[in-house]
Amino acid sequence: MTLMSMIDPFGRDISYLRVSVTDRCDFRCTYCMAEDMAFLPKKDLLSLEELERVCNVFISKGVRKLRLTGGEPLVRKNIMHLVRQLSQHLQSGQLEELTLTTNGSQLVRFADELAECGVRRINVSLDTLDPEKFRTVTRWGDLSRVIAGIDAAQAAGIHVKINAVALRNFNDAEIPSLMRWAHGRGMDMTVIETMPMGEIEADRTDQYLPLSLLRAQLERHFTLSDIPYKTGGPARYVHVAETNGRLGFITPMTHNFCESCNRVRLTCTGTLYMCLGQEDAADLRAPLRASESDELLSAAIDEAIGRKPKGHDFVIDRRSKRPALARHMSVTGG
């Protein structure tokens, strides 16, 4: 089988597609969404069949890793139909990995079926192990339900990685205990700098914690050694001697990872963002719906990849305190 590839203007092989299957979520995390979110009309969303068709074309053009995101992907009605259809590419060998990022709230319900479909690894977003703080940061979330979901995923044989957004004066002091807990359960953990996307009630200049500072704080108590481990995403990993676990740092603000970016993002409305931190985008819904053939869609993807930018323009603006981008992370996909 001849493998295709998509090469952008900077010589990067675009082999990773992140697909937001819904902008809806059963949480309202304070750094991600406004509490009173206005969600997209359902008529604007791609159907599951349309999402599958777009994914199929990307896979035929060289995508080897596919991640389903949201919002919360597991709240999309009949989402497991899409997962099952896409899993056929794992069986054929065209796709190396099918995975998802979730808040964990629906994993008790879906973990076994995800494992049956060949999902071997998932990311669970979890910023605190304090039930009251968890309720505060998610507004609607129930920590015990998420922990039960992680239990279910691990019991099903799925490797879980914990993603924690580092928030100054909220969970920064808790990161060491969260890391010990994750490593104690055999889970990797990644900490992420908050990103200036979308209007929210909170002030991101107060939330923002540079991970260079967090790493320096951790190194007072832990021995961190840089390692070449990669999962296909932007995290840079260290080995923690005291826990014998891996800790990743995703640093879009203090040290961007654009030079090695191999991914593009498809929204649930069929908009393709070639860069998370740029507004330039391509409409794939129109060519998708204009023809039953995939020729127009394929050409639109080629044109979009041909203008993938070198990097993003994220900045925490302490003067205006406005986000770098107006769209919420839940629209683009986590």
Binding-site sequence positions:
18, 25, 29, 31-32, 67, 71, 101, 125, 161, 195, 258, 261, 263-265, 275
CB atoms within 10 A of CB 307: 11
Binding-site sequence positions for S-adenosyl-L-methionine:
31, 71, 125, 195
- Which residues make beta-bridge pairs with 325? 197
* Strands 16-20 and 65-69, sheet pairing: parallel
Q: Which tokens is 90 given?
A: 């794992």
The identity of residue 25, as a single letter, is C
CB-CB contact of 86 with 97 (8 Å):
no
Whole-angstrom Cα distance, residue 256 to residue 261? Answer: 10
Q: How far apart are the first and last CA of the chain?
A: 32
Residues counted in the chain:
334
Angle between helices 143-155 and 107-116 (to 10 degrees): 20
Contacts of 161 (CB under 8 A, 6+ apart): 121, 122, 123, 124, 187, 188, 189, 190, 231, 248
Binding-site sequence positions for [4Fe-4S] cluster:
25, 29, 32, 258, 261, 275
CB-CB contact of 117 with 83 (8 Å):
yes
Side-chain-side CA neighbours of residue 148 (13 Å)? 10
Binding-site sequence positions for GTP:
18, 67, 101, 161, 263-265
Element (H, E) at 163: strand 159-166
What residue spans of the chain are helical by DSSP H?
48-60, 79-86, 88-92, 107-116, 131-138, 143-155, 175-184, 204-207, 211-218, 285-290, 295-305, 329-332
